[in-house]
Structure 1
Amino acid sequence: MSVSTSDLPANRPLVFDGHNDLALKLLLGKLTPDDIWTGTGTGHIDMAKARAGGFAGGFFAMFVPSAGGFDLSELVRASYDIPLPAPVPQAEALRQTRRAAEGLEALQEAGLLEICTSTAQIEALMGGPKWAAIMHLEGAEAIDPDFRVLEELYDRGLRSLGPVWSRPTDFGEGVPFRFPSDPDTGNGLTALGKELVRECNRKRIMIDLSHLNARGVEDVAAITDAPLVATHSNAWAECHHARNLTDRQLEMIAESDGMVGINFATAFLRPDGQMSADVSLDPLLRHFDHMVSILGEDRIGLGSDFDGAVVPTEMGDCAGLTALRTALRRHGVDEAMMEKLAWKNWMRVLRKTWGEAPSA
């Protein structure tokens, strides 16, 4: 199909995004709330860029960095298998996670965002002066075996959780940064990890499959009563990276009426697996086509990984969401599908996961 783009606003429809790492930049002292207000920082997301790109909010990840950092420089080799950092002790992870939560709460105090626990809140904020934010935990190292910390974070607004990043945890194993590789790289969820899924189901906290290995995804699917969701993942058929989802996994997500947010990180987009910005948006469009062929139009969204990855130069930062809309329109995406991709599909799956009434 073809659509005319001459009269369509470049920064609309608004985007509700499946994943960003802005809180990590706050945690590491690379940004302040003032930088985000004024646009004086060097990150992918600030208020000026958000207005230009039509970024309305999304999942704001709380992530515990590894001691000594994590070197991704080898992701430009023809093949790689980067050693994963050691597990983070629960006490240290909890300290860092509380600091990350305080960072998001500081952004809320500053009037930059509002931590949301319902889709009604999110939809009311979209288009307004503040971002709609879901508090998301990327890697559950901070959670204790009795789930008291889960209760604490829930009370602060946590409504989405990934059991692992890529480091091993008490809950399961993540996929390594390995190319070429499929995601069948190790053991699945531990007994405690399976209980975490059940506890999140009881509390209606979304479980994120991104970063889980193949067996972990199978374990979640066997336990959960919620839709299967990968907030920021791509298609393994288009890029043979361990981080990407196989067709079987995409089929499982479709059968559960879940969804996937397309990740803009170039290492997971490019057929050569390289974390290099020197690439057009064409690979992203190929991932989009492949995932839509399996998931359908109602189960795909955006999961940028802004402020946590290298994205195509053609996009650059969240202001470059305009370039993405233009590319999608030229690719034949009509406005009804564009709205689903930009935000409506996220609202649909969140309503199901959080136990809300369907939209009228």
Structure 2
Amino acid sequence: MTNSPVPVFDGHNDVLLRLRLSDAKDPVGDFLDGRKDGHIDLPRAREGGLAGGLCAIYVPSPSMAKDQNGDFPTPAQPEALNQTIAMARILLDIERRSNGGVKVCRTADDLRRSIATGSFAAVMHIEGAEAIAGDLDALYVLHQAGLRTLGPVWSRPNIFAYGVPFKFPSTPDIGPGLSDAGRDLIRACNDLRIMVDLSHLNEAGFWDVAKISKAPLVASHSNAHALSAHSRNLTDRQLDAIRDTGGLVGINFGVLFLRDDGRRDESTSLDVLVRHIDYIAERIGINHVALGSDFDGTTVPSDLKDASGLPRLIEALRNQGFSDEDIAKISFENWIDVLDRSWAA
């Protein structure tokens, strides 16, 4: 391995929820100074070359007891908005207290400058738009606060769309497509230059977005259904549509989305993760594949462990025959390119 880690821009992490739920006296300070729980803090990011990423604001379901349809319950909008604001504040507090070590990025130029100067490039992202009512007022306010990417759903239904449930083996073709409110949300995101994230959206919703959106199709943390038949993964036809719009797939490090048996097994080899990268690069081109770890939100291979282990993934890519140019595209350049085009579309 090289002494200087390859910079990695990551398409998805759940560190804000982990900090929100922490019982620590000062979770923001723990992130900045380092505390050895979870997958990400600033010292481990620097050690592993994690240069930034989409920092998700995700509001958990009120309970994990599924309904008769197998769906997780959906948070009520007022409470979801309160929790969303609380997590946005955590991100902004991290930036304020970091002495330049963290930057909440609103433009592609912000991303480029942050990576060049070694400041952690954080992008405010919402995973599941329960905080937003049908009037979309909150969307416009959150955009002013720094929101730049949004997934309409997590794996549960809401007023906008149907989130694909966690099922293995299963296709992603579960449930109906976008509602009228969902179509309005996609159009508003296009107008505001907010990137729409298709991870967690079911197949019908995916194709509805493909019909409506003027921006590249992006799935921030999903894998190849051909290799792992999980409902959260993308079919070859979906991959082709992403390619045809100049979009991107961020590879999820979660072992249950990587394995061909759907097991949550930490001993899963990094070679299995690389196989998904290789498959998607072969299918739709190297310019359309990147990383979307799901750090702090899923079980990752024990060989990776946390953000400090990213150089081991880079080494596995080299061992598979990816060139330095290919690795730069996968690790950060493709994300910056697609965000630049999405935000300027």
Q: What's the TM-score once normalised by structure 2's chain length?
A: 0.95
Measure the CA separation in 2 of the matches of 1:21 and 1:125: 20
Q: CA deviation at 1:285?
A: 1.4
Aligned to 2:57: 62
1:65 is paired with a residue of what secondary structure?
Answer: coil
| Residue number among 200, 216, 221 corresponding to 1:211 in the alignment | 200
After TM superposition, give the deviation of residue 106 of structure 1 in Å: 1.1
Which of 75, 93, 96 pairs up with 2:80?
Answer: 93
How many angstroms apart in 2 are the aligned matches of 1:83 and 1:121? 41
Q: 1:141 to 1:339 in 2, by over 3 A?
A: same
Query: What is the distance in 2 between the residues matched to 1:311 and 1:295?
Result: 25
Q: Structure 1 residue 68: deviation in Å?
A: 3.3
2:176 to 169, 178, 187: 187
**Which residue of the partner structure matches residue 21 of structure 2?**
28
Structure 1 counterpart of 2:154, from 158, 165, 175: 165
Structure 2: where are the runs of 5+ without partners?
Answer: none
Indicate how the Cα distance of structure 1 residues 298 and 99 shifts in structure 2: closer, same or farther if over 3 A, else same: same
Structure-to-structure mapping, 1:44-123, within 5 angstroms: 44-69=39-64, 83-111=70-98, 112-123=101-112
How far apart are 1:109 and its partner, in Å? 1.3
1:105 partner letter: L
Q: Quote how far apart the aligned CAs of 1:342 are.
A: 0.7
Quote the Cα distance in structure 2 between the aligned partners of 1:146 and 1:281.
44
SS state at 2:55 partner? strand
After superposition, the Cα gap between the structure-2 partners of 1:128 and 1:85, relative to the gap in structure 1 and judged at 3 Å, is same
Q: 1-side partners of 2:46 and 2:65: how far apart?
A: 32
Distance 1:178 1:162, change over 3 A: same
Q: Deviations over 1:201-253 (max 9, x none)?
A: 00110000000000000000000000000000000000000000000000000
Residue matched to 1:220: 209
1:88/1:194 CA distance change after superposition, 3 Å: same
Q: Are the counterparts in 2 of residues 14 and 127 from structure 1 also a CA contact under 8 Å?
A: no
Contact 2:47 2:308 in 1 (8 A): yes
**How far 1:310 moved relative to its partner?**
0.4
- Matched to 1:305, the amino acid is D
Alignment-derived partner of residue 75 in structure 1: none
Match of 1:43 in 2: 38
Deviations 1:3-26 (A, max 9, x none): xxxxx6255320010000000011
Contact 1:137 1:162 in 2 (8 A): yes
In structure 2, what is the equivalent of residue 196 of structure 1?
185
Shift of 1:127: 4.8
Partner SS state of residue 192, structure 1: helix
